[in-house]
Each structure stands twice: as C-alpha cells, then as structure tokens.
Structure 1
Amino acid sequence: MARLSRLLVRQGLCEAGIFGSKGQDAPSAWEHSVNMTSKSSPSHLPTTTRSVILKRAAKDLDDIVGALAIEERPVREVGLDEVLLRAIYVSLDPAHVMWVRMMAPYIPIGPGDAMTGQVVGEVMHSRADGIEPGDLVLVSAEMSEYSVVHKDGIGNGAGRGGILSVQKVDTADGITPDLYLSLLSHTGMAASCGIKHVANVQLGQTVLVSAAAGATGSVAAQLAKVMGARVIGIAGGAEKCALLEDYYGLDGAVDHREDVAAQLTAVAPEGVDTFFDNVGGALLDTVLPQMKFRSRVIICGALSDYGNAAEKSYRFENISTLLQRNVQLIPFWLSDFEAHRTSYFAELRGLYSQGRLKVKPSHILDGIEAIPAAFKLLMTGGNSGKLMAAVGPLPEAR
C-alpha cells in the first residue's frame, strides 16, 4: 500500500484530506479483495463483490446516505463478448444525486439495484475479442469492486441508461487514468458540446460560466477562452475565484457568496452574450437581467436544486426577462452529440498535452465505503477537482 500512496503522490493525486497526507501510506480499504494477478484463470476469479446499492428514494440531500448501502453480492459468470472488470476509479457525479432521489425521467436504476457510473478498471478475465486480461479500460458499469460488463455496454450499467461501451485507456502523452473520469469523460464532453455546438461561442463574445472551478465548468471556461471569448467564471469563495484567474487564466471571477449582480455589472458592464450554467436556481435568476439582447443561456446542469425536497424547489422571479431581452434558454443532452465523441476527446487531449488546457488534480476518496457520503460533499462544493472513489489499486501498484 505504501507503493500505491507514493504512486498517487507522483501523479499529484494524494493530497491532505483526499487520499491521506502526502508521504503517508494510503488506507487499506480494499485489502480484503481477492489476491490475484491480471492473468488469473476463471477458477480463481472472485465469486462475490461489494456494491453500492440503492435501497430507496432519498427525500433530500441529507437522506442520501440512508438511502444507499454497501452490500456483498454474487459475481455472475462471464458470458460471450463479456469481461470481468476490477474497478479502480469510480466517477461520482451530480446526476447520481438525481438518481438516488428518483427525480429524473432517465433514471437507469431502481430500488434494489446497484448504482452505476463511469468506471476505470482492469480487465481480469475476457471472453471478448480485442480485450485482454490486464487491459485498463473505461466503461459504464456498476459501482462494485468487480462487475461483468459486455464489450458493447449491453447488460451492464450502460444497459440501464448509459451509452459507454468498453474503451481502452491510453496513458500516452502524460494522460493519467483518472483523467478518463474528468477531462476525457462525460464532464469534458459536456463542456465541449455545450460550448462548441450548443452555444457556438464566437470571437470577442463575453461568456459567463457558473461552477467554473468544477470539473465541467473549468473545461467549458477554458474552451471558450481558446475560441477567443472573454470569459468570466462564477465560484464560491475567494480561494476558488483566485483559482479561476490565476490558474485557469480567466478574465474575471464572481464570488456567488457575495453580491453577484453588483460584481457582474463591474466585470461585464455591457452584459453577457452566453451563460454556460451548471447551477440554476437563484443564481440563474440573478444573472438573467445581466444578459444581452438575443443572448443565450446554456443549461448544462442545475446543481442548486438536485438536493432539495420537492417543496423547496426554486421558483423563478425573473423569467419574464427571457421574453423582454429575447434570451434563449437552451438545455442539452450528451446523447444528442454522441457522433462527436471521438473528435471532442481528440481535441481535449491535444489541448491538455499542449498545456493550453489545465485540469486540477482529481479529488480521490478512499474505498467503496466512501461513496454514499461523497454525494453531499459534491453538492456542497467540498471537493477540489473531479470527485471519484478509488475502489482498487492501479495495476502497477499490485
């Protein structure tokens, strides 16, 4: 385990409060796992696994931990065109909060099911052509230590609402495996299609991005800069606002804990052309009067409302501004842009390798046990960098 901790430190992933203190051994949350090599024969593969299970719908954010449970379940046999996956990193995202609360029309799970998400893992056994034991892959799968996944995403987490089949992880050009759950995942794709295709950002425009210090917002803001826009980010607190300007190179920052309207007037006196919104609620209501005539609000998320009970959902006050200023309110789904996935990731990978796009070190929690409580951390802004759980060690550390 000391070797794993040193590996994470070298990758910039082991920070105090994230994966133990720098230089200290990482906790051994997965040491109970079956001790096997990547080339294990089927007779020595695990027969049980621990999984994150949805027991019931959560009433609100505070109820999420009680709505989830860690249970031991059998691992089914690997069928034709399937692989057995050992999870390494599990992505934790705002959409999961909606799933646990059963409040979205596209919820891929129900009570009694294992939670699903995007997972980076190691193939332990394969009956799929082109995929070998030891391969490091990205796929939509259950939040389990071990899971059986179809190579085309049929019958795994993707079969209940996801769209991601097994993809090999390429760590060339300084790409670390965790980046496949941040920059080179649905978060990076949301930023790319939102800024490039939905917003169609133009040279010289003023672009405002909420949750700009987050995994999606930070990439969206930087892409808008690459496209020649003047970019202002919204974040919570002086430290995150300084990060937007000093680390990500944005043109201005707005602290949502202070007077947002006054700050926006100061940094964008002529108004905003495009608002890439991840938050919604009262923040969106405050921004609407600052939008230019014939401007656009791109709805990528509504973080402010995901954890609220139904009776506490926000009710807009400035909705008439949409008509008065002819502001377009445009939501989008990633599935509508699936044809662009390869080109999006090629561009993001290139910009990152060139140093033109920065990504903060991932916020990695230790073990599958950390997942239920992690969603409140995510929704209250307590994470620094893309939030994920380390369910097992990287192959090099075994």
Structure 2
Amino acid sequence: MLKQLSTSTLFCAIRAYSNAAGKIKARKYVLTKYFQGEPKKSDFRIFEEELPEIKDGEILTEAEYLSVDPYMRAYMIGYKLPTDMIGGQVAKIIASRNDQYPVGKYVAGSFGWRTHTICNPKSSPYLGFMPITLLPDMSPHPISLGLGVLGMPGNTAYFGVKEILYPKAGETIAITGAAGAVGSHVGQIGKILGCRVIGFAGTDEKCEYLQELGFDHAFNYKTANIKTALREGAPNRIDCYFDNVGGEISSTIMGHMNKYGRVAVCGSISSYNDTALPKVTILQPSIVFKELKVEGFLVNRWLDRWDEGIKANMNWLQEGKIKYQEKVYNGFDNMVEALVGILRGENTGKAVVKVK
C-alpha cells in the first residue's frame, strides 16, 4: 500500500510539474543573417518561447552545457533563414512522463542553442550529429564530457579511426587540428593501437600538450616548415592522415604519404571563415600515383552504433589511456563569443559553454 501511494504521489508531482512547464519560457538563438567572415552577435536574435505541457513519453530538459564546434560555422548556409541555431548540449531532466528517462538524470542531444527543450527521446528524429542519449554516471569526471570524449567528438575520433583509417600497429598517423576535441582524441587512439603519431597545432603550448598526451612529435604549423617537420616526424612517411583543417598543409601531408595510404577528411576549418575557397596545390597527383584512399565522413553515419563508441571511449578513460582538456566559456549570452573563439583556435581540447 505504501509503495502504491508513493508511486501515485510521484506521478502527481510529475504531472503537476509538467503542467507548470507551460509557464516555463525557453530562450533560444535564432540565426537571422548568414555569416560573412567570422560569426557576429548581430547575425542572431535571442527569442523567448513559452513551452507547452509535456505529454506521455516526453521529457523536459534544462541545458547545463552547450557545445560550440567548427562545423556550426559551415553548416548554417544550408538552412533557410530565420532558423534556430544548431548544436549539441548536455541537459538535466527536470520533468518526465517517460519511465526510462527519470527526473535528475542527464541527456545529450542535438537540441540547439536553447535553454529548455521538450522532446520524446524515442520518437524524436535525430536532429544533427547525435541521437538523444541518456548519459551514464561519469564521476569523478564532469558531465560535460557528454559533449567531448564521451559524445560526438569522441565518436568522431573513434569511428573515423576505426572505420576510415583502420591503422595497423607500427604505422604512422598524421593529424591536423591535433589539439582540438577530435584531433587530440584521434592521436590517443592511435597510440593505443600501437601507431606512431605526429600532430600539427597552432601554438607551442598546444604542441607541448600533445606531447603530454603521448604524441611522438608535435609541430606548430605557424612556425615550422611543414616539409621539414614531416621528414623529421615521419621518416618512413605517413600511412594514415586525419584531416581536420584542409588547406595547403593537407596537400603537403598527402604528398608525404606512403602508397595505399588512407585519408579521413573530417573538416576544413582553415577555410570556414573565408568568403572564397583558398587556392592550394592540387591533390590528384598524390592521390593517383600513391593510390591513396580519401574518404570524407560525418559521424552520424554510425548513429546505430553510437553506444559502441561511447562504451569504448569510457573504457579507455577509466583505464587511464585517454586524457582530455576542456575550454569552458560561461554564460548563455556568450555563445557567439565562444564560437568565434574556437574558430580562432582559442581552445585546447573540447570547448563548451556553461549555461549558468
């Protein structure tokens, strides 16, 4: 009898909270102008919308950490304006009418730049690069890792290495954008698999960090001669290249690859803010004569295997084989500054915005 009373009381409390949800106002970023050069605050407007009562199967979440990622700069051109800003977030469930998603738990999802969200985790389509995922207990690590090594960047590294590069022990992997959320993770996976790993980053401090992570060599691409760096760091040439930046450095690296090398093209951050694509040395001679396999990819190709990547990265994290660093910005009103910051290379590791 006591158990029935407790369950009934709990359901009433949840229903009362869900009714109150109609009075909750979510704040959200709406893109009203396409980016010209760097993103600007004037490209956005912040709107408020009143949320309805949650229905059976739905949850109400409150954002705690929002993600800023380079792809956001490139992808918004594909949306008709005005449009809600895309992006992932880690959010706390504050009301629920779904037994599998209880109040107090955390989820990660592509909810965009907004403070509160109502969704049905099982019937909602995948909006972006991650499914709605109930996050495991990450203690003693911060819950924000659901946007980093235990989220979309971690899975990008995991599946990009495993399914595109498929490196063998003893091979050499080169990584550009190596100090970012994805690149730093790719390098560590490479070392776990027994590979030689060299990385390129934009400051000496970032290069020092990469060496702390176990990279065999790290070079500041702004000050190093790339051809000389490749001869030093990869005397037996490159077998696998994880490309995050594009540009001339990618042409140079691909010219230093071994026959039958594999290239995973993850991004092109070097040109995201450019109004016209830069001219670089053509890649076709290297691709043809070295018989390279070059494949671009989006991580949502593996949405049906999402948990596989999270579990693998969680195991490596718990075993001490994976390390991470976060750049934390503060305040929902500072989302644009955070996005601009990562496009300028301010971050080492994953950049997130703490909402409050």
> Is TM-score (shorter-chain normalized) higher than 0.5?
yes
Does structure 1 residue 281 correspond to structure 2 residue 247?
yes
| Structure 2 residue aligned with 1:150 | 120
Superimposed CA distance per residue, residues 26-65 of structure 1 (whole angstroms, 9 cap, x where no aligned partner): xxxxxxxxxxx9997234334322111111211222x443
Whole-angstrom CA distance in 2 between matches of 1:262 and 1:40: 67
| Structure 1 residue aligned with 2:287 | 322
Distance change in 2, residues 1:222/1:153 (3 Å): farther
Aligned residue type for 1:119: Q
Superimposed CA distance per residue, residues 221-278 of structure 1 (whole angstroms, 9 cap, x where no aligned partner): 0001100111111111211111111x20111112111211111111212210111111
| Structure 1 residue aligned with 2:353 | 389
The 5-angstrom pairing of residues 2-151 of structure 1 reads 41-45=17-21, 46-61=23-38, 63-100=39-76, 102=77, 107=78, 109-151=79-121
Name whichever of 254-263 and 135-144 sits farther off: 135-144
Give, in angstroms, the shift of residue 173 of structure 1: 5.1
Distance change in 2, residues 1:200/1:162 (3 Å): closer
Name whichever of 72-81 and 322-331 sits farther off: 72-81
Whole-angstrom CA distance in 2 between matches of 1:390 and 1:77: 26
Does structure 1 residue 175 correspond to structure 2 residue 141?
yes
Aligned residue type for 1:73: E
Give, in angstroms, the shift of residue 209 of structure 1: 1.0
Give, in angstroms, the shift of residue 318 of structure 1: 4.1
Aligned residue type for 2:263: V
Whole-angstrom CA distance in 1 between matches of 2:186 and 2:16: 42
Whole-angstrom CA distance in 2 between matches of 1:373 and 1:338: 30
Give, in angstroms, the shift of residue 357 of structure 1: 0.9
Q: Could you tell me whether the CA contact under 8 Å between 2:69 and 2:351 is conserved in 1?
A: yes
Q: Could you tell me whether the CA contact under 8 Å between 2:19 and 2:54 is conserved in 1?
A: no
Aligned residue type for 2:320: G
TM-score normalized with structure 1 length: 0.81
| Structure 2 residue aligned with 1:26 | none
Distance change in 2, residues 1:342/1:304 (3 Å): same
How many residue pairs were aligned? Answer: 342
Give, in angstroms, the shift of residue 116 of structure 1: 2.6
User: Relative contact order, CA 8 A, sep 6+: which one is greater?
Assistant: 1
Does structure 1 residue 208 correspond to structure 2 residue 185?
no
Distance change in 2, residues 1:94/1:40 (3 Å): farther
Whole-angstrom CA distance in 1 between matches of 2:14 and 2:183: 37
| Structure 2 residue aligned with 1:337 | 302
Whole-angstrom CA distance in 1 between matches of 2:14 and 2:86: 23
Structure 1 unaligned blocks of 5 or more: 1-36, 393-398
Q: Could you tell me whether the CA contact under 8 Å between 2:246 and 2:270 is conserved in 1?
A: yes
Whole-angstrom CA distance in 1 between matches of 2:68 and 2:193: 29
Give, in angstroms, the shift of residue 312 of structure 1: 3.8
Q: Percent identity?
A: 24
SS at match of 1:234: strand
Superimposed CA distance per residue, residues 4-35 of structure 1 (whole angstroms, 9 cap, x where no aligned partner): xxxxxxxxxxxxxxxxxxxxxxxxxxxxxxxx
Give, in angstroms, the shift of residue 202 of structure 1: 0.1
Q: Could you tell me whether the CA contact under 8 Å between 1:140 and 1:153 is conserved in 2?
A: no
| Structure 1 residue aligned with 2:8 | none
Q: Could you tell me whether the CA contact under 8 Å between 2:181 and 2:348 is conserved in 1?
A: no
| Structure 1 residue aligned with 2:206 | 240
Whole-angstrom CA distance in 2 between matches of 1:173 and 1:39: 30
| Structure 2 residue aligned with 1:217 | 183
Q: Could you tell me whether the CA contact under 8 Å between 1:207 and 1:275 is conserved in 2?
A: yes
Q: Could you tell me whether the CA contact under 8 Å between 2:251 and 2:280 is conserved in 1?
A: no
Q: Could you tell me whether the CA contact under 8 Å between 1:210 and 1:276 is conserved in 2?
A: yes
| Structure 1 residue aligned with 2:342 | 378
Distance change in 2, residues 1:314/1:164 (3 Å): farther
Q: Could you tell me whether the CA contact under 8 Å between 2:237 and 2:258 is conserved in 1?
A: yes
Superimposed CA distance per residue, residues 107-148 of structure 1 (whole angstroms, 9 cap, x where no aligned partner): 4x5322221322111112222232222222222213111121
TM-score normalized with structure 2 length: 0.90
Whole-angstrom CA distance in 2 between matches of 1:139 and 1:43: 23
Whole-angstrom CA distance in 2 between matches of 1:248 and 1:271: 22
| Structure 2 residue aligned with 1:366 | 330
Distance change in 2, residues 1:74/1:151 (3 Å): same
Structure 2 unaligned blocks of 5 or more: 1-12
Query: 315, 332, 336: which one pairs with 1:350?
Result: 315
Whole-angstrom CA distance in 1 between matches of 2:14 and 2:184: 36
What's the RMSD between the two structures over aligned residues? Answer: 2.1
Name whichever of 221-230 and 324-333 sits farther off: 324-333
| Structure 2 residue aligned with 1:271 | 237
SS at match of 2:111: strand
Aligned residue type for 1:326: E
Superimposed CA distance per residue, residues 126-173 of structure 1 (whole angstroms, 9 cap, x where no aligned partner): 222322222222222131111212212616xx34x45512x2222245
Q: Could you tell me whether the CA contact under 8 Å between 1:208 and 1:233 is conserved in 2?
A: yes
Whole-angstrom CA distance in 2 between matches of 1:368 and 1:38: 27
Name whichever of 50-59 and 188-197 sits farther off: 50-59
